[in-house]
Amino acid sequence: MEYTKPLPAVNADNEQFWKGCADHELRFQKCTQCGFVRWPASIICPECHSGDTELIRANGKGTVYSFVVYHVAYHPEFKDDLPYVVALVELDEGPRILSNIVGCAPGDVACDMPVEVVWEDITGEWSLPKFRPLS
Ligand code: ZN
């Protein structure tokens, strides 16, 4: 079935992240000067302004920092998913990324709930990181 929802907007900074997702890996820039792991990707460290960086692979685990339950589809292609959860997931390595919580009822989602990444292969090229409760 054709995927009709919006696709990631790739640029030079986030390209490595999305390539990692295609390989089912969460890759982030880590500053080699101060150790800060950053998201969104950027050309310099927001903490110390160094341009020295390495890519790290996150372990895919974190906790729900905040979340909302969508009961209205603000894009028509999400209508069949209602109600669904949009959450800010704080990863063990530090970055907070926006994603969906899947694998449980929206009413079961809570702040500080442990979650782990699960991959949704949306096209032959793209995979999206989603999160489910850590069992
Ligand atoms: Zn830094």
**Across the chain, where does the E strand assignment appear?**
27-31, 37-38, 53-57, 61-70, 84-91, 96-101, 114-121, 127-133
Ligand 1: centre distance to CA 64 (Å): 25
Residue 133 domain-assigned (yes or no): yes
102 is a domain residue: yes
User: Which range of residues forms the domain containing residue 45?
Assistant: 9-58
Q: How far is the CA of 7 from the centre of ligand 1 (A)?
A: 30
For residue 120, being part of any structural domain is answered with: yes
CA of 91 to the centre of ligand 1 (A): 18
- Residue pair 104/130 in contact by the 8 Å Cβ criterion: no
CA of 61 to the centre of ligand 1 (A): 23
Terminal-residue alpha carbon distance, the chain:
30
Question: Quick check: is 2 in a domain?
Answer: no
Q: State residue 135's pLDDT score.
A: 77
pLDDT at 2: 85
Please report, in tens digits, the pLDDT of each residue of the chain (135 residues total): 689 999 999 998 899 999 999 999 999 999 999 999 999 999 999 999 999 999 999 999 999 999 999 999 999 999 999 999 999 999 999 999 999 999 999 999 999 999 999 999 999 899 999 999 997
pTM above 0.85, yes or no: yes
Query: Is residue 84 domain-shared with residue 50, that is, in the same domain?
Result: no
- Please report whether residue 94 resides in a domain: yes
Q: Does 65 lie in the same domain as 48? A: no
20 near 26, Cβ under 8 Å? yes
User: Residue type for 93, please?
Assistant: E
Q: How far is the CA of 52 from the centre of ligand 1 (A)?
A: 8
Q: What is the count of structural domains for the chain?
A: 2
